Structure 1
């Protein structure tokens, strides 16, 4: 039986520090979410429904492990993020491809769902800071928000690059520029929590656009590396970075989270 710890139990912060490595792994995990889901659904031939069910099952199992931890454990946390990325992608793809729901509608719906999650989270906890994930209730809010950021980012990214016709190249440039603007705003004193979540949302379409740019065939505007090689390359880098983070944590202990988001 799953042993879910008490909702209000205090624990060490369950989220890593927001560093360059954090953003690198986050962007690459979104790329893997895009290319990995495509590989399983199309090239392996599982289809969207089977792939989605398989990934949801894996996510539930890994998330249960994550919730049982009383501190940040790099490999568990980032495996959860990768699986959330894939599931978020699958949710949007299912709505678009299976149910034929407009990307305009799904983007708006996920934006509302994310806003509602933040509103409820803040009304209960009075903070949206990722450096205060010290109870299981806050962690549940956190992962719900993460799922909706991935789903929203997928829908918004597809809306921009496909429905609006920006293409992968322009999409990468556009989303990079938006993230750079948010980083500049943060440097100039903008609210740390707000800028973090805006950047978190935008790294999803950036990673997806970059993944599509690398993996899609040249006739579709990509570089033609394919989903297999793109997914393996990014997974290799993610594993290496997470292994390094794990070694660093074991060697010196996880440092205190920096103030900000």
Structure 2
């Protein structure tokens, strides 16, 4: 699906975006193309550590909606990403224990936007997402955040586990959502904490879950067994808020 206003179609627009140091979330290149302009674009993508997908021409035709793409399409981020130290600085400036959302493999832009909105409203100091196998800051994410992206910093990292290790050195603890975990009401969720939410289908990935200090479940009283990931995120986030307000 094409993100209107944030999709660059064709070699010149994509190359100019790289030269202007624009944030490109993902680059699509037609498989098998190796001419000079394509190689130049790939070199720029490597410099900026951009995710590159080599795909069939039919896939590019689908993304471009029939526009002439010359074998290259890029998704431009709707907002710039923050660096991890910026998120820590926000908490420090407010005199608060750091509180971050770490979103592991969220692919639905509406869910990501909703969780960024929740992060803003519950006072989280930032959102951390992985570079691969997850949606970036697309136009749909921006709309779904209802303006929260203007105020809430989002950091994109290469490896969530390594990022968690870095934050543990800063004194942070991590709790992940897991249906088999302990009830959120029985856990101590105060202090510097990261709330980890997993993908819509598979939940939190194994390595990320193993790096969490706690696994929290939400009591279920109905006939179905799970909430939408963005709703579950809100429930867990506000239990953290409640405990932080209790002191």
**Structure 2 length-normalised TM:** 0.27
Max radius of gyration: which structure? 2
Richer in strand (by share)? 2
**Relative contact order (C-alpha < 8 Å, sep 6+): which is higher?**
1
**Structure 1 length-normalised TM:** 0.26
Richer in helix (by share)? 1
